[in-house]
Structure formats: C-alpha cells, structure tokens
Amino acid sequence: MTSSNIRRYDIDWLRVILFGLLIPFHVAIGVYWSTYGAEINPNIDEISDQENGAIFVEENNDYTTESVSLTSMILHWMHQWRLAALFMISGMGTAFAFKSRTWKLFLKERCQRLLIPMFFGAWTMGFIGSLILDPQSSDPIGSFLWGIIWRSLVFWIPIYGKLIALGHLWFLWNLFQYSLIMIPIFHYSSKYPDGDLVRFIRSFFSIPMSLGILLALPLILSITEIIFKPWFPGYIGVGYEWFWFFVFFAFGYICIIAKEQYYDFLANQRIVITVITLFSTMAFIWLRLQQHDSGIPYVDGGWLGNSIFHNKMTILACLIHSFHSWFWCLTIFSWGSKLLNKPSRHLSYLNQGVYPFYIVHMPLTYAGLRFSTYLGMKNYPAVISSTIFVVITCWIFFELVRRSRVTRFLFGIKEKKLMP
C-alpha cells in the first residue's frame, strides 16, 4: 500500500469529535441565545405570550447572539472554526474517495449518502421538531404529509428553504452542491495525478517559509469575505458563508492531493501554528467586542445595512475572521495528526453513528430543553442535563437504525458488518 493510500485515522477521529460538538453547541445556543424561541429556553421564566417573549429576548442581551458574556463569546469562538473544519474534513474525504471511484460512482454515492438522508431527515425530523416546538397542532398527520410536499419543493430556495425546510440539515445540501461543482476538478486530478493542475495545487506547499499555507490560503479566504460579506450576513451556510465554506471544502481536498507535503508541514510547524492561532484568537475577541460596541456586524457580515460597503475596519475584520478560522483549523489538524492517528475498534462504530446522531439530534435538543425548562434548570445545569438527554436518546436511536439495511440506507450509514 502506497503512502498516499494509507488511512488517516486522525481525520476519522476529528470527524467524530467535531460532529459530536454539535450537540452541546446547539443545546447551549438554545439556552444562552434563545435560538429556538423563549418558550423552551430554561433561562427565561414564565412568559405570558409570544410578544412579551420577543421583547424579553430583544432587550436582555444575555439571551441574544450579541451578548459578550463569557459563555456567549465561547460559543461565537467555536462557531468560527467548527463548521469550517468539518467542511475541510469533507473535502479530505472526497480526495480519498476519488482515488478508487469513477466520477459517476462518486456522484451516485453522494446522492445516496447526502440527498436521501437530507430529504428523509427533513420530512421526519423536521416534522417531529415542529411538534415539539408547537405541540398544539390540530392535524399532525395532515401537517406531516403537507410537510413532505412543501419541504421537497422549497428546500433549494436560499435562506428560506434552508431555514424552514431543511433546518440543521443544510450542511448536507451545501456538501452536495460543493461536491457536484468540484467533480470536473476531482476527475481531472484523478485522471492526471502528475498533471499541471496537481502540480499547481502542490506548489502552495513548496513556497518558502511555508507562506503558501500560512499566508496565501487564508488570504484567499479573506478575499472571499471581502467580495461577499458586505452584502448579506452569513447564516446556516448562506450569504457569504456559502462561498466561504466552499473554499474550506476545496482546501481540504487540496491538503490530501498534497498529502505528504501537508502532513510534513503540520509536523514541522505545529508550534508555530499554535502560537499564531493564540494571537489570532485575541484579535478575534477584540473584533467581536468592536462589533458589540459599534453595532456594525464585523463578524457576521451584511454591513451594507449600516450604509457601509468597505472601509479600513471592514477589510481588517475580513482578514482577522478568515485568518482566525484558518489557523484554528490548522491547529486542530496538526495536533490531531500527532495525537489521534491511531486505529481503534471503537472508531468504525462511532463513525457509523455520525449521520444518525446529526440527523436526529435537533428535535431531541428541543425536547431536552423543554424537559430542562419543566424541571426548572438554568444555565450550565440546563446545558449539561439537556446534552446528556440528547446523547443518550441519539445513541438509543442509532442502535435501532443501524440494525436494518433499510434504516441504514435512509440515515446514510455505509454498509458494513454489524458489531455484536
């Protein structure tokens, strides 16, 4: 087996860990940001009606994304690299997959493992989530059947389709689009492994002082922000985030195309990467505080609403944001390659659970928050108890669906021999 085909266990471990972080993250933003409404926020006491709840959320900074409390800042910090790293891992996985697949087989597998779980999850989990958020539905069967129709028709519409029809499953739709767009490049690189395109990709890793990875690639991310970020904020993978995550996906692919150079770089520059990441984190905290003080969405984007296209501060914001996210990804991958590149009899099992956990965790998050609210828990106890509830119920669900070929297919689990 050549070195280019040796399995990287660190990528699998990081995929499991980063998807696992979705659960406490989504629970926490329901508690500290009221993302899913005041009715299931354990921190908000009795609210007589939705209007008063909306006023409460608007006027109490601790329950909005604008908060600069420690917990809210940690959540903002996590959001900057967590999804970016996942899209990079998806790009890496694509590079490995194309080594042994034709473009037609790859496209078929992408449809099976992305679109089918996405639609099935939107139809079922989207419906269950809506029932938990609004248990007063008078015709649940009719709502379910109608939901299948309208979710299937509007899922592709930017913002509305993702927010209403797909919800948290927008990640799968973005990933399918990126894969589809990149198929010609995947195919060409696979057909001509020593061609001009592959040599160009690898050239980023041969620039002196590692400036290709340390400077050129994050500058490409920054340019993406400079072009798209003024127009609309990034939200659930739309706006500037659609293009930004696309670049991360492509960078993940690039890193595996230049696999030996990439991992040599991580091993040799691990400390340098970590130090730069710490400084970029301080810059990001400063930027987030500037957004809070000025009311201009330097981190989130869409500052045309503030009658600004670009100025020195917005350009600096794009640079800080992209460099901060890029270096956190490098830090995660560099330390992951050192500490996690080890086989484990548990890894295959955990990897199979990624999609089922991801697909079902959102309605279970609503249920966990509602349960914590009922018990009168607040703050960290509410986050911890809800997270435990979601993990246990997701695990039970996974144990059920992994035992049938039909449910494995619907939830995107690869066909493998079942563990006893």
Give a yes or no: residue 420 inside a domain. Answer: no
Question: Is the CA virtual torsion 10, 83, 237, 233 positive or negative?
Answer: negative
Angstrom distance (rounded) from CA 269 to CA 331: 10
Structure tokens at 405: 């070929």
| Residue numbers of the domain that contains 73 | 3-410
User: What pLDDT score does 1 carry?
Assistant: 44
- 8 A C-beta contact, residue 61 and residue 67: yes
CB-based burial, 281-312: b 16+ in 10 Å, e otherwise: bebbbebbebbbeeebbbbbbbbeeeeeeeee
Q: Kindly report the backbone phi and psi dihedral angles of residue 319, in degrees, each rounded to the nearest multiple of 5, phi listed first.
A: -65, -50
Structure tokens at 294: 């000025």
**Nearest Cα to 213, choosing from 271, 267, 262, 281?**
262
Give a yes or no: residue 419 inside a domain. Answer: no
Angle of CA points 11, 15, 17, to nearest 5°: 115
DSSP string spanning 347-387?
Answer: HHHHHHTHHHHHHHHHHHHHHHHHHHHHHT--HHHHHHHHH
- 8 A C-beta contact, residue 2 and residue 338: no
Number of domains in the chain: 1
User: What pLDDT score does 292 carry?
Assistant: 85
Give a yes or no: residue 365 inside a domain. Answer: yes
Angstrom distance (rounded) from CA 84 to CA 250: 11
Q: Where are the alpha helices (DSSP H) in 258-401?
A: 259-268, 270-294, 312-339, 347-352, 354-375, 379-401
Residue 318 neighbours by CB under 8 Å, 6+ apart: 222, 225, 226, 229
User: Within its chain, how far is the Cα of 141 from the centroid?
Assistant: 32
Record the pTM. Answer: 0.89
Angstrom distance (rounded) from CA 131 to CA 356: 20
User: What pLDDT score does 59 carry?
Assistant: 46
User: What pLDDT score does 305 carry?
Assistant: 84
- 8 A C-beta contact, residue 408 and residue 401: yes
Mutual angle of helices 116-133 and 354-375, in 10-degree steps: 0
Give a yes or no: residue 371 inside a domain. Answer: yes
User: What pLDDT score does 5 carry?
Assistant: 58
Structure tokens at 92: 């890496």
Angstrom distance (rounded) from CA 298 to CA 301: 6
Give a yes or no: residue 266 inside a domain. Answer: yes
Residue 55 neighbours by CB under 8 Å, 6+ apart: none
Angstrom distance (rounded) from CA 88 to CA 331: 13
Give a yes or no: residue 152 inside a domain. Answer: yes
User: What pLDDT score does 32 carry?
Assistant: 85
Rg of the chain's alpha carbons, rounded to an integer?
Answer: 22
Angstrom distance (rounded) from CA 368 to CA 29: 13
Can you list the residues of the chain whose pLDDT is less than 50?
Answer: 1-3, 46-51, 56-63, 417-420
- 8 A C-beta contact, residue 43 and residue 32: yes
Give a yes or no: residue 417 inside a domain. Answer: no
Give a yes or no: residue 415 inside a domain. Answer: no
- 235 by DSSP, 3-state: which? strand
User: What pLDDT score does 62 carry?
Assistant: 45
**Nearest Cα to 227, choosing from 325, 326, 309?**
309
